[in-house]
Amino acid sequence: MQKHKKKLFFPTHDLPDLWHYLKHAADSGKKIVMYGMGNGADKILAVCEKKGIDISDFFASDGFVRGHSFHGKVVLSYSDVKAKYGTDGMIILLSFATSRPEVLQNIERIAAECELYAPDVPVFGDTLFDGDFYRKKLKKIEDARSLLNDNISKKVFDSIIDFKLTGRIDILRDAENDTDQALLQILGCEGFARAADLGAYNGDSVKKLLSLAPNVTDVIAFEPDSRNFRKLCEYAKSVEKAHIHTVNAGAWSEAGMLEFDDSGNRNANLAQNTSSILQNGAKKMKTRETVVDTLDRVATELGLFDLDYVKYDVEGSEKEAILGSASIIQRRAPALLVSLYHRSEDIFELPLMLAKMQPRYKFYLRRAAGIPAWDINLYAIAEFDN
């Protein structure tokens, strides 16, 4: 992997996070330009405006510029911004997510020529993981780190925290793992018989589980979005080796009805999870009421309370979904996979909550390849006395 050639300045006492550094650099004459458009760029731009950081231009990769504009500025190409500001006269802020190898290679090529950062903004919620937040939550961060059971997990944790404060992609990419191997080696998924997938989308994660865990006979699959649920049901009908119990509901801490983002994409989520502060000028979300339910209740009704494994990837509702399966966790201690990247506080709050809920758990942390710090998985496996 290519490293940054530019000198990097983090962390220091005077410049505790990327946002302070960008403000200092902009005030000193550096031009701040953003690479990419869309929702991620909206969020980063909104934080920059709050922090008093001026954005000079937006650009897209060479070959992808079509004369369109973004926030009142014509979108340039990378070649254009290099010619306009020079490689030493600008700082680039990456504002989109990717795990595609060819795109990651292009980002690293640009980072080798120019100073480039990927600012960390929350997928859901309004809490920004900046220097002030880090100092206020340091004790909890340290407590969560102490729960991790191997050095790989601690390296991943440290890299994520450092990345959140600095935006440095070299730090982030230095801690990538094979998450399929984690399911096999950490959780021992070959022995699973009954599982639950909370946030099953169109069935892709159930399909992955079944490919790695050939002994699974039953899967409870929650999916709140109606279009994704139809695809999930179609997939479930095609599966012969296991019974997929499809549930058209969001996983929550209690049964009821909540407003839901009706976008139909993979990141569709309960409307209350959406950021109200960081989304700058975002279009009003189209919502509808949707059913929410608890895994405890559904599993009991289906006669599948003795679950071996539960996956939580519920777009910012992980805390509530865990609370809705507290009885299963406390009484059965199934193996868990929990997404820790949707909210700024998830990386420490969720491990601490689970450790209190089930003291037998040992915790491991892995992160799939990509930018920014998404696809962070917490694995919990119970240790029982012989």
Average pLDDT of the chain, as a whole number = 90
- Residue 281: its pLDDT value, please? 42
3-state SS, residue 291: strand
Computed over its alpha carbons, how large is the radius of gyration of the chain?
22
| DSSP code for 30 | P
Residue 9 has pLDDT above 80, yes or no: no
Instruction: Please give the distance of CA 109 from its chain centroid, rounded to a whole number.
Output: 24
Cα separation, 384 vs 386, whole angstroms: 6
Full DSSP string of 324-385: TTHHHHHHH--EEEEE--SSTTHHHHHHHHHHHH-TTEEEEEEE-S-BSS--EEEEEEE---
Residue type, 288: R
Domain ranges of the chain: 1-119, 179-382
Between residues 253 and 274, the one the model is more confident about:
253
């009142």: which residue's tokens? 72
- Residue 103: its pLDDT value, please? 94
Tell which residue, 6, 216, 372, has the closest CA to residue 206.
Answer: 216
Are the beta carbons of 306 and 335 closer than 8 angstroms?
no
Cα separation, 365 vs 367, whole angstroms: 7
Whole-number Cα distances in Å, 121 to 6, 8, 107, 169? 23, 20, 19, 14
Are the beta carbons of 221 and 246 closer than 8 angstroms?
yes
With bands split at pLDDT 50, 70 and 90, how would you rate the model's confidence at 15? low
With bands split at pLDDT 50, 70 and 90, how would you rate the model's confidence at 286? low
Q: What is the CATH number of domain 1-119?
A: 3.40.50.20
Whole-number Cα distances in Å, 385 to 356, 360, 362? 18, 10, 13
Rounded mean pLDDT, 294-320: 97
Q: Which residues contact 238 (CB under 8 A, 6 or more apart)?
A: none
* 115-117: strand order across its sheet: 76-77, 57-60, 31-35, 90-94, 115-117
pLDDT digits (tens, 9 = 90+) for 31-52: 999 999 888 999 999 999 999 9
Cα separation, 164 vs 131, whole angstroms: 9
With bands split at pLDDT 50, 70 and 90, how would you rate the model's confidence at 273? low
- Residue 309: its pLDDT value, please? 98
Tell which residue, 327, 384, 381, 315, has the closest CA to residue 148.
Answer: 381
Question: Which phi and psi (to 5°) does residue 288 adopt?
Answer: -150, 165
128-166 per-residue burial string, b: 16 or more CB within 10 A, e: under 16? bbbbebbeebeeebeebbebbbeebbeebbebbbbbbbb
- Residue 14: its pLDDT value, please? 60
Are the beta carbons of 122 and 278 closer than 8 angstroms?
yes
Helices then strands, counting H and E runs in the chain, come out as: 15, 17
Are the beta carbons of 205 and 180 closer than 8 angstroms?
no
Cα separation, 372 vs 64, whole angstroms: 21
- Residue 260: its pLDDT value, please? 75
* For residue 334, cis peptide bond before it (omega within 30 degrees of 0): no
Rounded mean pLDDT, 311-325: 96
Residue 156 has pLDDT above 90, yes or no: yes
Give CA angle at 203 (198, 204), nearest 5°: 105
Q: Is 179-382 the same fold as 1-119? A: yes
Q: Give percent of the chain above pLDDT 70.
A: 89
pLDDT digits (tens, 9 = 90+) for 120-153: 999 998 899 999 999 999 999 999 999 999 999 9
Tell which residue, 44, 36, 107, has the closest CA to residue 70.
Answer: 36
Tell which residue, 207, 201, 210, 233, has the closest CA to residue 314.
Answer: 201
Between residues 268 and 37, the one the model is more confident about:
37
What's the CATH superfamily of 179-382?
Vaccinia Virus protein VP39 (3.40.50.150)
pLDDT digits (tens, 9 = 90+) for 53-77: 999 999 998 777 767 889 989 999 9
With bands split at pLDDT 50, 70 and 90, how would you rate the model's confidence at 230? very high
Residue 13 has pLDDT above 80, yes or no: no
- Residue 247: its pLDDT value, please? 98
Cα separation, 223 vs 220, whole angstroms: 10
Rounded mean pLDDT, 26-35: 96
- Residue 4: its pLDDT value, please? 38
Cα separation, 321 vs 314, whole angstroms: 8
